Chain A
Amino acid sequence: MIQELVVETLNNALILYVMFCLLAPIIFYLISVILAPKRPSKVKKMLFESGQTPIPYRVSPYPIEYFPYVIIYVAYALLALVAFITSISLMESTETMYVGVIVLSIITAVSIYLSLFMKNLTQKLERGGG
């Protein structure tokens, strides 16, 4: 039973390849263990700050500057996903092909309109506004 499983595993190129892929970082690490020195020090353990004053751990605000992009991309992601999944079935018959052409024409026209008329999506809070 085990022998059969081993033979089957060794005859499957994908399983063998996945095994080698998993081994690659381990081999790199083992070579490093053999070759690399180990001289730990407190300075080496410090985080890289490029000569600036270190910032301690703290809660920091996340910029909302690009938030509108995220929203518009999520909307497009849904459309792209639907197009990707239905791509083969769209090409199956003449009828679905025509429906596909009509739907894609509308989406293309909307995407061109948006890109032409929505000049800047970057969100900025202006002092004294509104």
Chain B
Amino acid sequence: MPNFIQILASIIEPLPAPVKSIIKLTLAESFIKAVVFPGALFGIILGLFAVWYERKILARIMLRVGPLHVGKVSGILQLVADALKILSKERIVPDVRNKYLFVLMPGVALVLSLLLFAFLPFGAGWIIYPSDIGLLLFFGVLAVSPIPIVLAGYAAGSKYPFIGMSRFALQLFGYEIPMFLSLTGIIMSARSFDLVKIVEAQSIMPFILPQFLGFIVFFITMIAESERIPFDIPTAESEIVSGWHTEYSGVYFLMIQFTSYEKTLALCVLASLIYLGGWHGPSIPFVRETISAPFWVILKALILFTILVIIRGAYPRLTLGRVLDIGWKYLIPLGFINLLLTSGLSALLVLG
């Protein structure tokens, strides 16, 4: 009995050479990884789903229904309608300090947030760019991602974006270092910067168990990194209108919103990989591992995203001073304690 590839080959064979090469390209592994999964298409669909999912959960917390009418199932197409609405709004570029920077920065921020997915594995073979220093590359792109935000605030030149930008720059101090420390604990345990090897090191026990302190630190800094409530100080609506992106509208606003969700989701996927065991999970009957692996990663990431949304619905915004205090009074010492426990435990194991 001929398999699927043989049938496909027999269909392609009589076609002209250029058409054949295009079909071959689209069926190539590199193209599927870059464009379909875990690449562009997946990133966009996951982003849209996350917005809808967040609105639905927030509505439940506030005793509302949420999106309902557009699309047959629970208003699932509301997000497409909203995106189209924002895209059809006029692109207004006000008299800002630097127009080129102002127009370019939302696009740069979007590119950087999408790039994060290039280094995240969704299974042993499901990764766009496998690398021995995957975690380092991820953190490198993540560390660069605040630059367009600061430049966007600077380029606007008016008072609310300026206050938002300076708040963002100060908040950056509060969470970058604890995040560094929690990631160091993971690298010490796995003895590798490769995210695939880090997940493989959790085949017996996910790192959340021996490094619970590190997970708490990482999770809190993750919320701050993605500027979500209670750490939305740079964009606090009730205080500074919309902070650093007050002057943006239309397509620029859409890019900024999309950037925020993509970054949050990438961080949730990273947390599921480094703390929750990644693709390790109970085997699903009649489902191959190549399919069940991404399922477990996405499921774990969505659980973390749900907690994030519940926190958004339940807690009020912190003040800037409080965030800075939490950073150096609690998160940094906890990060060091986690490192000490990790290295101490390893030393004891070696001694034993």
Distance between A120 CB and nearest chain B CB, rounded to angstroms = 8
Could you tell me the distance in whole angstroms from the C-beta of B235 to the nearest C-beta in chain A? 14
**Contact between A115 and B328, CB atoms less than 8 A apart:** yes
Known interface pairs A47-B247, A83-B181. Does A76 touch B328 (Cβ–Cβ under 8 Å)? yes
Query: Is A25 within 8 A of B111, CB to CB?
Result: yes
Cross-chain pairs A/B with CB under 8 angstroms, 28 sampled = A10-B30, A13-B29, A14-B34, A17-B40, A17-B128, A21-B115, A24-B111, A25-B107, A31-B87, A37-B88, A38-B90, A45-B95, A46-B94, A47-B156, A47-B247, A48-B241, A50-B160, A70-B170, A73-B327, A77-B177, A81-B180, A84-B184, A90-B343, A97-B346, A108-B340, A111-B333, A115-B328, A121-B325
Q: Does B173 contact A (CB under 8 A)?
A: yes
Q: A12-B30, A45-B95 are in contact. Are A104 and B340 (CB under 8 A)?
A: yes
Q: Quick one: which of A17, A25, A44, A104 contacts B339, CB cutoff 8 A?
A: A104
Asked if B53 is at the interface of the complex by the 8 Å CB criterion, the answer is: no
Interface residue B96 (Cβ < 8 Å from any Cβ of A): yes
**Contact with B87, one of A10, A21, A26, A28 (Cβ below 8 angstroms):** A28
Cβ B328 vs Cβ A69 within 8 A = yes
Q: Is A59 an interface residue (CB 8 A)?
A: no
- A residues in contact with B35, CB < 8 Å: 16-17, 20
> CB-defined interface of B308-352 with A at 8 Å, one 1/0 digit per residue?
000000000000110011011110110111011001101100110
Given contacts A44-B94, A49-B158, 11 further A-B contacts (CB under 8 A): A10-B30, A11-B28, A13-B29, A18-B115, A18-B118, A22-B111, A36-B251, A48-B94, A66-B320, A80-B181, A80-B184
| B183 & A98 in contact (Cβ 8 Å cutoff) | no
Q: Count how many pairs of residues, one from A and one from B, have CB atoms less than 8 Å apart in the complex.
A: 208
CA distance A57 to B39 in the complex (A): 44
Q: How far is the CB of B114 from chain A (nearest CB, A)?
A: 4
Are B39 and A20 in contact (CB-based, < 8 A)?
yes
Contact A45 B250 (CB under 8 A): no
A residues less than 8 Å from B332 (CB atoms) = 76, 111, 115
For A98, what are the chain B residues with a Cβ–Cβ distance below 8 Å? 347
User: How far is B92's CA from A39's CA once the two chains are assembled, in angstroms?
Assistant: 9
> Contacts A73-B177, A98-B347: A47 and B95 contacting too (C-beta < 8 A)?
yes
Residues of A within 8 A of B (CB): 10-14, 16-18, 20-22, 24-26, 28-29, 31-32, 35-39, 44-50, 55, 57, 62, 65-66, 69-70, 72-73, 76-77, 80-81, 83-84, 87-88, 90-91, 94, 97-98, 100-101, 104-105, 107-108, 111-112, 114-115, 121-122
B177 with A24: CB separation less than 8 A: no
Query: Please, which residues of chain A bring their CB within 8 A of the CB of B212?
Result: none
Minimum CB distance partner of A16 in chain B = B34
Q: A45: which B residues are within 8 A, CB to CB?
A: 92-95
Among A17, A80, A100, A112, the residue within 8 A (CB) of B180 is A80
Shortest Cβ distance from residue A23 to the other chain B in the assembled complex, whole angstroms: 8
Q: How far is the CA of A121 from the CA of B174 in the complex (A)?
A: 13
Residues of B within 8 A of A97 (CB): 343, 346-347, 350
Q: What A residues does B160 contact at CB under 8 A?
A: 48, 50
The one of A38, A72, A77, A112 that contacts B176, using a Cβ cutoff of 8 Å: A77
In the complex, A104→B335 CA distance in Å? 11
List 6 tightest A-B contacts by C-beta distance, closest first: A25-B107, A16-B34, A32-B251, A35-B88, A73-B173, A13-B30
Chain-A contact segment, one of B8-16, B65-73, B187-195, B224-232: B187-195
Contacts of A44 in B (CB 8 A): 90, 92, 94
